[in-house]
Amino acid sequence: MIKPEEITWVKPPTFGLMDQIYLPAIISGLGTTLGHFAKTVFGGPQAKVTQYFPEERPELPANYRGVHRLNRDEEGRVKCVACYMCSTACPAHCIDIVAAPSPWPDREKYPEVFVIDELRCIYCGMCEQACPVDAIELTSLFDLTGLSREEMIFNKEKLLSVFDQTVAMGKDPVRTKAGRLSVASEPAGDGLTDSSSVQS
C-alpha cells in the first residue's frame, strides 16, 4: 500500500501564447535540420553518415552478435563436446544436437548432428556464454540472406565453414580461449584468466 505522503503529483506544464501558436517551436526544429544539412554538405568526409552498402561495409563493434560458427580445435576437429548446454540455455529453442561417442581417444562425446535454425534464433548470445569449451561463437557476419527456409537451417558443416570463412577474413579471431574441456577441469588460475581475457 502506497502512503499518501509518498506520492508526488506532477502537473502538466501550462502553455503560454508562444507555445500555443507553435511557430517558434517549428522554426527552432528547422534550425536543427538545417544545421545537420550544412554539416553533411560542408563538413567533409568525416561527417557523412550514409554508406553505399554493399559496396561499403560498416565497421561493427567487436561485440556484435551475428551468424554463429562452430570453432575448430588445433587439429581442425569440431571443438564441441555435445554437452547440450547451448541448446538448454537457448531461449528460442533453435539448437538441435545429436550426441554420439566420439571417434577420437581424447574425448568422450562429440556432436553427430548440430543444427541451428538461424531464422528462429534471436541472436542473444546465450549459447556462447553457456559453452564450457568455447566451441560456439557469434561472428560479425550480419547480412544473412537466403532464398528458402531450409537454406537458413545451418548444419554442422555449414557452421564449421562459417568458422573457416570468418577466421580467413581476419575480422573475427577466436575470441575466447579456455581449456580442453572446461575451465572447471583446468587448474584454477590460468584457466580462469585465459577465458576471461578477450584475445584479439
Partner 1 sequence: MATVYINDKAVDIGDKRLNLVQVAELAGVTIPHYCYHPALSVVASCRMCLVELGEKTPDGSVQMQPRVVPACQTPAKDGAVVQTATSKSKTAQGQTLEALLLNHPLDCPVCDKAGECKLQDYSYQFGFAESRMVDEKNTPPNKPDLGPNINLFTDRCIMCSRCVRFTREISGTSELHIVNRGTHSEIDVFPGDPLNNKLATNVVDLCPVGALASKDFLYSHRVWNLKTVDSVCPGCSTGCSIHIDANKDVVYRLRPRENPLAQGYFMCDDGRLGYHYANSKNRLSAPKIRSGQEWKETGWKEIVSGIDNDLRAVAAVNPKGVLGVLSPFLTVEEGFLLAQYLKSLSKDARLALGPIPVTGEDDNYPKTRNGQPAKVQFTIRQEKCPNRKGIEAILQHFEGKIVHLRDSLQGEKAEAVFLTGGYPPSTQSWLEPNLAKGISKTPLIINQDLFENAVAGQSKYLLPAAAFAEKEGTFVNHAGLAQGIKRICSGPRKGRTDGQVYLDLLGRKGLLHAFSLHKEIASAVPCFAPLLTMGPQGVNLEKGS
CA atoms within 13 A on the CB side of 9: 3
For residues 40 and 88, which CB has a smaller minimum distance to partner 1 in the complex? 88
- Site pattern 146..175 for partner 1 (x: CB under 8 A): ------------------------------
- Site pattern 65..84 for partner 1 (x: CB under 8 A): ----------------xxxx
Burial (0-12, 13-18, 19+ Cβ within 10 Å), 78: buried
**Given candidates 185, 193, 196, 197, which one binds partner 1 under the rule CB under 8 A?**
185
Q: Minimum distance between the CB of residue 81 and partner 1, rounded to whole angstroms?
A: 5
CA distance 163 to 179: 19
Query: Letter for the amino acid at 116?
Result: I
The CA R_g of the chain, rounded to the nearest whole Å, is 26
CA distance 190 to 183: 9
Give start and end residues of each alpha helix (H) in 107-189. Answer: 126-130, 156-169
Binders of partner 1 among residues 113 to 152 (CB under 8 A) are 132-133
Please report whether residue 182 would count as binding partner 1 according to CB under 8 A.
yes
**Given candidates 39, 66, 96, 99, which one binds partner 1 under the rule CB under 8 A?**
99
Residue written as grid cell 561499403: 56
Residues that contact partner 1, how many (by CB under 8 A): 20
**Given candidates 109, 129, 164, 169, which one binds partner 1 under the rule CB under 8 A?**
109
Cell of 113: 548432428
CA atoms within 13 A on the CB side of 157: 1
For residues 115 and 141, which CB has a smaller minimum distance to partner 1 in the complex? 115
Please report whether residue 197 would count as binding partner 1 according to CB under 8 A.
no
Q: Is the dihedral of CA 122, 114, 99, 163 positive or negative?
A: negative
**Given candidates 58, 101, 146, 173, which one binds partner 1 under the rule CB under 8 A?**
101
Q: Which residues bind partner 1 (CB under 8 A)?
A: 81-85, 88, 99-101, 107-109, 132-133, 181-182, 184-185, 187-188
